């Protein structure tokens, strides 16, 4: 492709299989994002995006600014700078807002409960070496907090004259530091650890519903050729991010992707090398596509494609990749997954990539048909839009303006 310019350093067509597996080239008929808009405003790495409503979102970054943008406007100058957030206290690692209880919790070295007036209601004692890194809301006034290798369930007591919070349970099944903790649906919440463990927990009795250990370094001999690399090195299998739409859990594992079905309690699809570098954020798009962004500066769009039914159950070797340990813990029983039920098995096919950022893409937000906003370490935000839709909208605006001017 560009080897004629770059000499031998071509990302495409090189001997490296790893690239061959994930490069799509320039022909991307399924990629609808054919228009982009660069939003400037930040002066440092943009790390977070929060959707406000159907059109607006806020971005925050290392420059301590929070900017509110509108995705529908074509004018790039309309981003309103709302306020500058003061230096964040490093001791607070996570915030959880409990709307139904009118309180919010902050996690750090200790767990604090605040009311709407920012008054401290109560807090836990600092009894661990490690801080609380993630918080998730659970039913019955409970919250789950991730602390290093443990998940601690706290119960909030608001009925008494004095609000109190106390630990009720400790889940110590993870073998390494917990990196991600999310609520999947009413029944489940999930956690992911540094060494690639993903555990699904029951929200009520906090039992393990499913346990997956993703071990990239144990490739199966019968695995597809594209996955044969990386045998020598200890591939990073850190669960960087978890995303769920209630049924499926997408995990960013190192530079790979992993889609888990909570209904079937097993892996639906995976891609070991989805990006050239660590995947930082993933999401499931409105059309069922999976989108991931990475430190390599790219955003990739994946489609879950049904694999053709294999003639023989030999393809169950797929599962060999994962040491699916039916870890029979206390109450939970992991259903057997050795069955050759391949109907739900899909492959993650790259259908498009969005190249634009020159730094790591930290996060993105999907606005459905209106497009996707990405934020990056290069201080920019990019809105990716469906070119055809935008063109149509402009035509509408054109005729509307003509009507206003009385030309029609």
Partner 1 sequence: MIGSPDVVAFTKDDDFGESYIDPCSLPEEFSVPLFPHANSNPWLKTSYAKFSKDFILISEFSEQVGPQPLLTIPDDSKVCGTFDLNYFSLRIMSVDYQASFVGHPPGTSYPKLNFVEDSKVVLGDSKEGAFAYVHHLTLYDLEARGFVRPFCMAYISADERKIMQQFQLLSSSFSQASECLKSGNRKAFATELEKKLRDLEYTRSVLHKETELQKTNSGCYSTQVIEKANELANVEKSIYEHKDLLRQITSYPNSKRRNSDQTQCEMKNEGETTSVDQTLSSNHSGDEDKPVETDSGSQHSSYTPQLIKAKSAKCFDKRLKTLEELCESGFFHQTMDQLNTIEKALRGDLCFIYTSQVYRALLRNQKITSFLFESEQDHEEEEGSSKNFYDPNHATRYASSEFSGEPVSLDSYTAYVERSQNKLVLEAVDRPPDSSTSDVTQETSDAEMKGSFSSDRSMEAFIHLSPGNPDVFLKTSTACSVTSSGEPGSVVSVAVAASRKQSSSPERDSDLDHVFETGNLVPMDTACCMGQDGFIFDEPLPEPVQKCYEDTVVKHEPLPLLQRDPAVQTDYILGESFLTVPSPSMGLMLPDGNPSPLSEEMVKLNMDDISDNVSYLSTSTSSDRAASPFTYGSPVTLKQKKKAGHSALRFIRHYPFAQQAIFCLLSGRTLVVLGADEGTVRKLVNALLIFVPNLGRYGESVQPWLSTSFQLSDLQRWKLIGLQRVGSPAGSSLLHSLSRYSRYIGILDCDNKTLRCPAYKGTLIGHMADHRTQIKRGSTYYLHVQSILTQLTAKAFLYTFCHHLHLPVSTDQDADAVVAGRTNFLLQLGYTEEESKIICFLSELIKQHYIQGPLKGGSQSYFSFSYISSYLYKI
- What is the binding site for partner 1 (CB under 8 A)? 1-2, 4-6, 11, 25-29, 31, 34-38, 40, 74-76, 297, 352, 355-358, 380, 382, 385, 387-388, 390-392, 394-399, 401-402, 408
Q: Residue 55 CB, nearest distance to partner 1 (Å)?
A: 16
Q: Which is nearer to partner 1, 202 or 378 (CB)?
A: 378
Q: What is the C-alpha to C-alpha distance for residues 286 and 136, in angstroms, rounded to an integer? A: 24
Q: What is the C-alpha to C-alpha distance for residues 250 and 363, in angstroms, rounded to an integer? A: 15
Q: Residue 122 CB, nearest distance to partner 1 (Å)?
A: 49
Q: Which is nearer to partner 1, 329 or 358 (CB)?
A: 358
Q: Residue 87 CB, nearest distance to partner 1 (Å)?
A: 29
Q: Which is nearer to partner 1, 2 or 82 (CB)?
A: 2
Report which DSSP code applies to 214: B
Sign of the dihedral defined by the CA atoms of residues 65, 68, 72, 73, in that order: negative
Q: Which is nearer to partner 1, 238 or 376 (CB)?
A: 376
336 C-beta neighbours (distance < 10 Å), count: 10
Q: Residue 46 CB, nearest distance to partner 1 (Å)?
A: 15
Structural tokens at position 79: 């981003």
Structural tokens at position 306: 């049904």
Q: Residue 134 CB, nearest distance to partner 1 (Å)?
A: 33
Q: Residue 177 CB, nearest distance to partner 1 (Å)?
A: 34
Q: Residue 120 CB, nearest distance to partner 1 (Å)?
A: 45
Q: What is the C-alpha to C-alpha distance for residues 313 and 21, in angstroms, rounded to an integer? A: 24
Q: Which is nearer to partner 1, 83 or 397 (CB)?
A: 397
Phi and psi angles of residue 342, each rounded to the nearest 5 degrees, phi first: -100, 5
* SS3 label, residue 391: helix
Q: Which is nearer to partner 1, 349 or 390 (CB)?
A: 390
Q: Alpha-carbon dihedral of residues 77, 357, 252, 292, nearest 10 degrees?
A: 70
Q: Which is nearer to partner 1, 71 or 153 (CB)?
A: 71
Q: Which residues, including other chains, have CB under 8 Å from residue 280's CB and lie 6 or more apart?
A: 240, 241, 252, 293, 294, 295, 360, 361, 362, 363
Tally of residues, the chain: 408
45 burial type by CB count under 10 A (0-12 exposed, 13-18 middle, 19+ buried): middle
Q: Which is nearer to partner 1, 43 or 127 (CB)?
A: 43
Q: Residue 392 CB, nearest distance to partner 1 (Å)?
A: 7
């Amino acid at each position: 492709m560009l080897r004629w310019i770059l000499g031998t350093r071509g990302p495409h067509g090189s001997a490296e299989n790893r690239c061959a597996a994930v490069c799509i080239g320039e022909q991307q008929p399924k990629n609808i994002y054919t228009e982009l808009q660069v939003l400037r405003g930040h002066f440092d790495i943009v790390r977070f995006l929060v959707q406000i409503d159907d059109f607006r979102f806020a971005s925050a970054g290392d420059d301590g600014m929070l900017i509110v943008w509108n995705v529908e406007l074509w004018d790039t100058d309309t981003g309103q700078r709302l306020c500058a957030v003061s230096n964040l206290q490093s001791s607070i690692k996570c915030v959880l807002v409990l709307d139904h209880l009118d309180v919010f919790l902050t996690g750090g070295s200790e767990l604090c409960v605040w009311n709407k007036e920012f008054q401290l209601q109560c807090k836990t004692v600092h009894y661990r070496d490690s801080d609380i890194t993630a918080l998730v809301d659970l039913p019955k006034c409970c919250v789950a907090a991730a602390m290093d290798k443990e998940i601690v369930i706290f119960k909030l007591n608001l009925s008494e004259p004095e609000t109190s919070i106390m630990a009720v349970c400790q889940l110590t099944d993870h073998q390494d530091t917990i990196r991600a903790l999310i609520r999947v649906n009413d029944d489940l919440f999930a956690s992911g650890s540094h060494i690639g463990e993903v555990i699904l927990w029951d929200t009520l009795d906090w039992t393990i519903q499913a346990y997956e250990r993703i071990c990239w370094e144990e490739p199966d001999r019968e695995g597809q050729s594209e996955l044969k690399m990386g045998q020598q090195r200890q591939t990073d299998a850190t669960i960087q991010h978890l995303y769920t739409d209630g049924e499926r859990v997408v995990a960013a594992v190192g530079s790979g992707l992993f889609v888990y079905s909570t209904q079937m309690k097993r892996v639906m699809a995976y891609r070991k090398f989805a990006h050239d570098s660590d995947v930082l954020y993933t999401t499931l798009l409105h059309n069922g596509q999976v989108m991931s962004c990475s430190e390599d500066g790219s955003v990739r769009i994946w489609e879950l494609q049904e694999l053709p039914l294999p003639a023989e159950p030999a393809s169950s070797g797929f599962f060999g990749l994962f040491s699916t340990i039916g870890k029979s813990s206390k109450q939970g029983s992991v259903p057997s997954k050795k069955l050759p039920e391949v109907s739900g098995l899909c492959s993650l096919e790259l259908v498009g990539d969005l190249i634009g950022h020159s730094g790591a893409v930290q996060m993105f937000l999907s606005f459905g048909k209106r497009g996707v906003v990405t934020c990056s370490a290069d201080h920019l935000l990019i809105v990716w839009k469906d070119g055809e839709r935008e063109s149509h909208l402009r035509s509408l605006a054109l005729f509307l303006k003509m009507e206003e001017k009385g030309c029609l």
